[in-house]
Amino acid sequence: MSDAVPANAEVEALFDDASGHVALGELPEAIALYRQCVALQPDFFDGWHALGMALLRNGEVKEAIGAGLMATTLQPNDLLAWTALSQMYVSNHQIAEAEDAKGKARILSLGGKVVK
């Protein structure tokens, strides 16, 4: 019998641990765990989204934007992902990009689709 945990269960456990660190304000610890999540499962939308938000809260704005872009690439019709990306761009003084992301969030909020 193997002690190896299936990747999805391992990712889920790491994600839960990371979210606990966020709740306690332990952002560097959370960021490290979220990074492990997306390294193990590169198509894990929730991991990229949470990593981006934790990085933003920790002042690592450029890296947050990268994670936010991954989240919107994985789920281009996710309202919260576009809203978060807009916030990240605002924090980096990229107003045109922020407005574009906000516009996509607005389309989604009205029931439209960014990608059909």
Q: In 10 A of CB 107, how many CB atoms?
A: 15
* pLDDT tens digits, 58-113: 999 999 999 999 999 999 999 999 999 999 999 999 999 999 999 999 999 999 99
pTM of the model: 0.91
Distance CA 103, CA 68 (A): 16
Contact in structure between 15 and 37 (CB atoms under 8 Å): yes
